[in-house]
Amino acid sequence: MEPLLPYVAELNLVDHHCHGVLRDDVDRTGFEEMLTQADVVSPWGTSLFDSSVGLAVRRWCAPLLDLPPHAPADEYVARRRSLGAAEVNRAFLVASGITTFLVDDGLVPERLVGPSVFTGSREHGVIRLERLAEEVIIEGATGFPDRVRRALERAPAVAAKSIAAYRVGLALSGRRPTDAEVVAAGERWLAAGGGRCADEVLSRFLVWEALERGLPVQFHVGYGDRDLALHRADPSLLSDLLRATEPLGVPVMLLHNYPFHRGAGYLAQVFPHVFVDLGLATHSVGHQASRLLAEALEIVPFGKFLFSTDAFGLAEFYHLGALFFRRALSDFLLAGLRRHAFAEADAVRVAHLIGSENARRAYRLD
């Protein structure tokens, strides 16, 4: 295996989209259920350790728990439990070399805790728009738009996150809804019994309001858990909304994107406010991340690509996300250097843009 380029190995990464890590220990079933996007371990498949990410855990995470590389899955989970969640979380978070985290804590917050607890790193909040709406609608549809606005203004967050892909798909209209339309949608929602926010008008409204308040909006795009249909999570479906929101001059981030990462790169090229990443896929595909990142970097301007892990629950994902990202970025740059496609100074510059500078600029972190 090639050595990592030193300026990639040493990057202080900004993880612009991740979640918290588990407070408590998990057993083997619990671990496997968090290892992929599958909710359960299928009786028809074999262990989910039989996967790119499962093999990667045994190879690259085991040594950090003082086990040999490729330790068996049962030994790995047992060792993890014997060390305890706090020690495990600390080990993987420190190893990641991530120094700034943007954390979406909107999913099962009662089981999770922010990564900075273990590392003292900088941590910024990302507010989940649908969750906010679900909290605000409880007081009724009348006044809902203004209550959402006030909540966004008060939110201790540097960005907002939309999971429209899961709720209504990404084919959002470009038209900004009126307050009357939003109230009507809120009334329909309540009349249907409330619960999850799954309404195209509301998804759109939330995005517009966040952007109007200067909050960059992150969209879940592409694959994720089974609640979505992949063809409705194609980033191209956002084209109308991206065209309409461009004049606001506030960044929109397309997260994950697999397997639409090439199409996402197109959007980042043609829309001034659009950024993309390859989170989730980077650690999920394990040692194949190099090919994937190379594809993702084909047409995207290097000033528009971000690093993220999308780590959720298992602290291993911070370590693996950073590890495979560094490996893939180093491989990409080395291949270019070998072909004399660019000079070393360019490689250094691109590494820093993607590893941290783009995120600092886009989220105004400094």
Residues 306-365 within binding reach of a copy of itself (CB under 8 A): 335-336, 338-343, 346, 349-350, 353, 361-362
Least Å from the CB of residue 200 to a copy of itself = 17
Structure tokens at 236: 């191209």
Nearer Cβ to a copy of itself (51/119): 51
Q: Within 13 Å of residue 42, how many CA atoms lie on the same side as its CB?
A: 8
CA 73 to chain centre: 26
Figure out which of the listed residues 6, 10, 12, 42 binds a copy of itself, where binding follows CB under 8 A.
Answer: 42
Least Å from the CB of residue 242 to a copy of itself = 9
**Is residue 3 at the binding interface for a copy of itself, with CB under 8 A as the rule?**
no
Which long-range contacts link 226-229 to residues 24+ away (Cβ below 8 Å)?
226/37, 226/38, 226/39, 227/166, 228/165, 228/166, 228/169, 229/169
| 209-228 binders of a copy of itself (CB under 8 A) | 223, 225-226
Burial class of 340 by CB neighbour count within 10 A (0 to 12, 13 to 18, 19+): exposed
Nearer Cβ to a copy of itself (86/348): 348
Q: Which residues of 271-283 are buried (b: 16+ CB within 10 A; e: fewer)?
A: bebbbbbbbbbbb
Element (H, E) at 162: strand 159-162
Of 41-49, 84-92, 104-112, 204-212: span binding a copy of itself (CB under 8 A): 41-49
Least Å from the CB of residue 145 to a copy of itself = 28
| 93-132 binders of a copy of itself (CB under 8 A) | none
Beta strand pairing status for 122-128 and 217-221?
unpaired
Instruction: Report helix, strand and coil shares of the chain as percent, to nearest 5.
Output: 55, 10, 35
Nearer Cβ to a copy of itself (186/286): 286
| 238-277 binders of a copy of itself (CB under 8 A) | 239-240, 243, 249, 251, 258-259, 262-263, 266-267, 269-273, 275
Least Å from the CB of residue 135 to a copy of itself = 28
Least Å from the CB of residue 58 to a copy of itself = 8
**Is residue 9 at the binding interface for a copy of itself, with CB under 8 A as the rule?**
no
**Is residue 173 at the binding interface for a copy of itself, with CB under 8 A as the rule?**
no
Helix (H, G, I), strand (E, B) or coil at 267: helix
> How far apart are alpha carbons 24 and 330 in whole angstroms?
35
Of 7-15, 90-98, 158-166, 284-292: span binding a copy of itself (CB under 8 A): 284-292
The amino acid present at 303, given as its one-letter code, is G
